[in-house]
Amino acid sequence: MISPAFLSQLRRLLPPHCVLNEREDLLPFESDGLSAYRNTPDVVVLPESEAQVAAILQLCHKEQVAVVARGAGTGLAAGALPIDGAVLLVLAKLNRIKAIDPLARTATVQPGVRNLAISEAAAAHGLYYAPDPSSQIACSIGGNVAENSGGVHCLKYGLTVHNILRLRAWTVDGQLLEIGNESLDAPGYDLLALLTGSEGMLAVITEVTVKLLPRPERAQVVLAAFDDVAKAGAAVGNIIAAGVIPAGLEMMDRLAIQAAEAFVHAGYPLDCEALLLCEVDGVNEEVSDDIFTVHEVLAASGATEIRTADSEEQRLKFWAGRKAAFPAVGRLSPDYYCMDGTIPRGALPHVLKRISEMSSEFGLRVANVFHAGDGNLHPLILFDANQPGELHKAESFGGRILELCVEVGGTITGEHGVGLEKINQMCAQFATPELVRFHEVKAAFDPGTLLNPGKAVPELHRCAEWGAMHVHGGQLPHPALPRF
Partner 1 sequence: MLDAYIDRIRAAHAEDSPLIIQGGGSKTFYGNPDEGEVLAARALAGVVDYQPKELVLTARAGTPLAQVEALLAEQNQMLAFEPPHFGGPATLGGCIAAGLSGPRRPYAGAARDFVLGVRMIDGTGQPLRFGGQVIKNVAGYDVSRLMVGALGTLGLITEISLKVLPKPAAEATLQFELDETEAIVKMNQWAGQPLPLSATSWHAGLLTVRLSGAASAVHAAQAKLGGEALKDAAAFWQRLRDHATPFFDRHPSTLNQRLWRLAVKPTTPPMNLGGAQWIEWGGAIRWLTSDLAAATLREAATTAGGHATQFRGNAPADGVFAPLAPALATLHRSLKQRFDPKGIFNRGRLYPDF
Minimum distance from residue 40 beta carbon to partner 1 (Å): 28
Stretch that binds partner 1, among 111-119, 307-315, 389-397, 414-422 (CB under 8 A): 414-422
H or E element in which residue 211 lies: strand 204-211
Q: Residues 375, 379, 398, 399: which binds partner 1 (CB under 8 A)?
A: 375
**Nearer Cβ to partner 1 (26/240):** 240
Minimum distance from residue 283 beta carbon to partner 1 (Å): 4
Q: How many residues bind partner 1 (CB under 8 A)?
A: 96
Q: Is the dihedral of CA 11, 15, 18, 23 positive or negative?
A: positive
148 touching partner 1, by CB under 8 A: yes
Which positions from 191 to 230 touch partner 1 by CB under 8 A, shown as an x/- string?
x-xx-xxx--xx-----------xxxx-------------
Q: Is the dihedral of CA 222, 227, 231, 233 positive or negative?
A: positive
258 touching partner 1, by CB under 8 A: no
Q: Residues 42, 290, 390, 395: which binds partner 1 (CB under 8 A)?
A: 290
Q: Distance (Å, rounded) from C-alpha 95 to C-alpha 111?
A: 6
429 touching partner 1, by CB under 8 A: yes
285 touching partner 1, by CB under 8 A: yes
What are the residues whose beta carbons fall under 8 Å from the beta carbon of 145, sequence distance 6 or more?
111, 160, 164, 167, 195, 196, 197, 205, 208
**Residue among 398, 401, 405 nearest 343 (CA):** 405
Q: Residues 16, 360, 440, 471: which binds partner 1 (CB under 8 A)?
A: 440
In the range 157-176, which residues lie near partner 1 by CB under 8 A? 158-159, 161-162, 171, 175-176
**Residue among 93, 84, 96 nearest 41 (CA):** 84
In the range 39-98, which residues lie near partner 1 by CB under 8 A? none
104 touching partner 1, by CB under 8 A: yes
**Residue among 125, 117, 149 nearest 33 (CA):** 149
Q: Residues 186, 262, 320, 391: which binds partner 1 (CB under 8 A)?
A: 186
H or E element in which residue 89 lies: strand 87-90
CB-CB neighbours of 436 under 10 Å:
13
Q: Residues 43, 53, 109, 154: which binds partner 1 (CB under 8 A)?
A: 154
In the range 308-347, which residues lie near partner 1 by CB under 8 A? 342-346
Stretch that binds partner 1, among 316-324, 437-445, 461-469, 475-483 (CB under 8 A): 437-445
Q: Is the dihedral of CA 169, 171, 174, 179 positive or negative?
A: negative
Q: Is the dihedral of CA 204, 208, 211, 217 positive or negative?
A: positive
**Nearer Cβ to partner 1 (43/450):** 450
Backbone angles phi, psi at 200, to 5 degrees: 70, 20
Stretch that binds partner 1, among 90-98, 284-292, 361-369, 466-474 (CB under 8 A): 284-292
The string of DSSP letters for 427-447 reads HHHS-HHHHHHHHHHHHHH-T
CB-CB neighbours of 464 under 10 Å:
13
**Nearer Cβ to partner 1 (214/479):** 214
**Nearer Cβ to partner 1 (310/440):** 440
Structure letter (DSSP) for residue 222: E
457 touching partner 1, by CB under 8 A: yes
Q: Residues 243, 389, 473, 477: which binds partner 1 (CB under 8 A)?
A: 243
Q: Residues 101, 227, 296, 335: which binds partner 1 (CB under 8 A)?
A: 101
Are 340 and 421 in contact by the 8 Å Cβ rule? The answer is no
**Nearer Cβ to partner 1 (253/415):** 415
Q: What is the dihedral of CA 50, 53, 57, 59, to 10 degrees?
A: 110
Which positions from 19 to 48 touch partner 1 by CB under 8 A, shown as an x/- string?
------------------------------
